Amino acid sequence: MQYGTAGFTAAIAVTKLLRQPATIDHHTPLLVTGATGGVGSFALSFLAKLGFDQITATTRDLTQSAYLTQLGAAHVLATDQLTVQPTKLLAHQTYTGVIDTLGGPVLEHLLPLMHQDGVVAACGNAAGIQLNTSVLPFILRGVTLYGIDSVYYPRKDRKEIWQLLATNFKPVNWPTTETVAFNQLATLFNEATPQTTSRTVIQY
Ligand SMILES: NC(=O)c1ccc[n+]([C@@H]2O[C@H](COP(=O)([O-])OP(=O)(O)OC[C@H]3O[C@@H](n4cnc5c(N)ncnc54)[C@H](OP(=O)(O)O)[C@@H]3O)[C@@H](O)[C@H]2O)c1
């Protein structure tokens, strides 16, 4: 249960990146946004387990860098560094694969940074739902934008994702997940801070 919806969603996103072996190898530059969050943390740790060694993780809180490095990030970038410049139609080819949990202006700035035949898996909208972009990354660089939907993910394919979570994707560097009783839930919420990144399984 420690994976929850976040882990399941991250795993679907990783399978989309793995569909592009001609573009994405273990040493090509990947990006995971909102990486201290549930989806981002799992995506990072699954990619690290698979042997990708050039993953950049973004966060608004650089004091979390050690946590992200422990999960497998080779580089940590402040999220606002992605959006500080005005969006260009096409920019320097920087990332071959992106797992994006933020959407909005962050995704807008990422699409022009994609490498030829790069892949973006859009999972979330923590930074916004609007997407003002152009067709150029798609028609001039062959970029693929996958939308990830864990809710209506086909039943026949769910088993494969859970199987991957139990085998190839199973992180080696995941922090301890604690299990607490249902009646401890209120205490748990009271003690949580914005910096809390651990996961907890509630035993009911
Ligand atoms: N498609 C699906 O099936 C599916 C499934 C699950 C979740 N989701 C969506 O995926 C997204 C991430 O889910 P999650 O469970 O990982 O959420 P989460 O644990 O709250 O993590 C989101 C992370 O994004 C960053 N963030 C939050 N607000 C931001 C903002 N305004 N601007 C920039 N960064 C911001 C934060 O990281 P820092 O503080 O480190 O920057 C936060 O840890 C959400 O939008 C969620 O609704 C989609």
Complete DSSP assignment for 122-139: E---TTBS-----SHHHH
Q: What pLDDT was estimated at residue 22?
A: 85
Residue 203 in domain: no
pTM: 0.96
Residue 181 in domain: no
Provide the residue-wise pLDDT of the chain in tens; the chain has 204 residues.
899 999 999 999 999 999 988 888 999 999 999 999 999 999 999 999 999 999 999 999 999 999 999 999 999 999 999 999 999 999 999 999 999 999 999 999 999 999 999 999 999 999 999 999 999 999 999 999 999 999 999 999 999 999 999 999 999 888 878 899 999 999 988 988 877 877 889 998
| For ligand 1, atom 20: residue with the closest CA | 37
Residue 89 in domain: yes
Q: What pLDDT was estimated at residue 88?
A: 94
| For ligand 1, atom 28: residue with the closest CA | 126
Q: Which helix (H) or strand (E) holds 147?
A: strand 144-147
How far is the C-alpha of 31 from the C-alpha of 46, rounded, in Å?
13
| For ligand 1, atom 36: residue with the closest CA | 34
The CATH number of the domain holding residue 79 is 3.40.50.720
Which residues constitute the domain of residue 115? 4-147
* Count of the separate structural domains present in the chain: 1
Residue 124 in domain: yes
Ligand 1 binding pocket includes 59 (Cβ within 6 Å): yes
Pocket test for ligand 1, best of 16, 32, 39 (most atoms within 8 A of CB): 39
> Which residues touch 117 (CB under 8 Å, ≥6 apart)?
20, 22, 23, 96, 141, 142, 143, 144
Q: What pLDDT was estimated at residue 199?
A: 84
- For 104, other C-beta atoms within 10 Å of its C-beta total 18
Residue 185 in domain: no
Residue 120 in domain: yes
| For ligand 1, atom 33: residue with the closest CA | 127
What backbone torsions phi and psi does residue 181 show, to the nearest 5 degrees? -75, 150
Residue 22 in domain: yes
- Helix or strand or coil: residue 188? helix
Q: What pLDDT was estimated at residue 12?
A: 98
- Tell me how far the alpha carbon of residue 167 lies from the centroid of ligand 1, in angstroms: 25
Residue 132 in domain: yes
Ligand 1 binding pocket includes 126 (Cβ within 6 Å): yes
Q: What pLDDT was estimated at residue 197?
A: 75
Q: Which helix (H) or strand (E) holds 109?
A: helix 104-110
How far is the C-alpha of 84 from the C-alpha of 93, rounded, in Å?
17
Pocket test for ligand 1, best of 3, 41, 60, 131 (most atoms within 8 A of CB): 60
Ligand 1 binding pocket includes 144 (Cβ within 6 Å): no
- Helix or strand or coil: residue 81? helix
Give 147's strand partners: 122
Pocket test for ligand 1, best of 102, 107, 152, 200 (most atoms within 8 A of CB): 102
